Amino acid sequence: MKIIILGAGQVGGTLAEHLAREENDITVVDTDGARLRELHTKLDIRTVTGAGSYPIVLRQAGCEDADMLIAVTNTDEINMIACQVAHTLFRTPTKIARVRSTAYLTRKGLFAHEAIPIDVLISPEQVVTDHVRRLIEHPGALQVLEFAGGLVQLVAVKAFYGGPLVGQNLAFLGKHMPNVETRVAAIYRRNRPIIPQGDTVIEADDEVFFLAARRDIR
């Protein structure tokens, strides 16, 4: 796959390293020539020095036949404009951009295909905010992850001494929650994963990961 990465900072450099390992054709664009030379000596990639939102720079990077554009510069506006240019001039199939400012994120429809055509929006701050919100909604949970548009949740809880989970096998838990569609997806015991079986007994300090419909998790 031919991928253009805009931004040679920590995120862009890490992406380039991982994607290059998978035998993708990677081009990294940045205004910092020294940083690009550093990456080029370590990785089998192409580099282009220039502003990632400029059409001429995107053309030099090979945007005309690129499969994907990943814009992760430190400037939201450059990332957004680059995706717009890639869509309008080069019809790049997949455009991914990092946007941090809530001033943009709270505007509904701004990143629709007919507006600013970003296919995948990365917002680190929003990810953190959503994660904190889910932890507040589920006191005592170590982690809460959502799937299927929020309809399914993976909740990690710690089994504590004297608690209701300790000493119970997984089959017993299922029998005592007949009206709840849930299963134990994983157990971490002393920092090692355990494949859950029906006869697996939960021990104190285990981290137990429950997978269930959102409505069944309290």
Measure the CA–CA gap between 185 and 183, rounded to whole angstroms.
6
Residue 51 has pLDDT above 80, yes or no: yes
Check residue 54 and give its pLDDT. Answer: 98
**Domain span at 76:** 2-122
User: Do both 85 and 184 map to the same domain?
Assistant: no
Q: What was the pLDDT predicted at 174?
A: 63
Q: Which tens digits make up the pLDDT trace of 103-115?
A: 777 666 777 667 7
Strand bridging mode 182-189 / 207-213: antiparallel
Q: Are residues 211 and 139 in the same domain?
A: yes
- Same domain for 97 and 82, yes or no, is yes
- Residue-wise pLDDT for 188-215, tens only, equals 888 787 778 878 888 888 888 777 765 5
The CATH number given to whatever domain includes residue 41 is 3.40.50.720
**pTM, entire model:** 0.60
Compute the half-sphere exposure of residue 209: CA atoms within 13 Å on the CB side of its CA. 16
Q: What average pLDDT does the structure give for the chain? A: 80
CATH number, domain at 137?
3.30.70.1450
Between 116 and 214, where is the model more confident? 116
8 Å CB contact between 64 and 90: yes
Instruction: Verify that 56 and 96 share a domain, yes or no.
Output: yes
By the 8 A CB rule, do 146 and 153 touch?
yes
Same domain, 140 and 166: yes
Is residue 108 located within the same domain as residue 30? yes
Which distant-in-sequence residues (6+ apart) come within 8 Å of 84 by Cβ? 116, 117
Domain count, the chain: 2
Closest alpha carbon to 159 in 213, 209, 218: 209
Q: Provide the pLDDT confidence category of residue 134 given band limits of 50, 70 and 90.
A: very low
- In this prediction, residues 39-51 reach a mean pLDDT of 95
> What are the helix (H) ranges across the chain?
10-21, 33-42, 55-60, 76-90, 102-105, 124-137, 170-175
Same domain for 92 and 116, yes or no, is yes
pLDDT at residue 36, as a whole number: 96
Of 96, 122, 148, which one is at a domain's C-terminal end?
A: 122
Question: What is the rounded average pLDDT of the residues 32-58?
Answer: 96
Q: Do 111 and 145 have their domain in common?
A: no
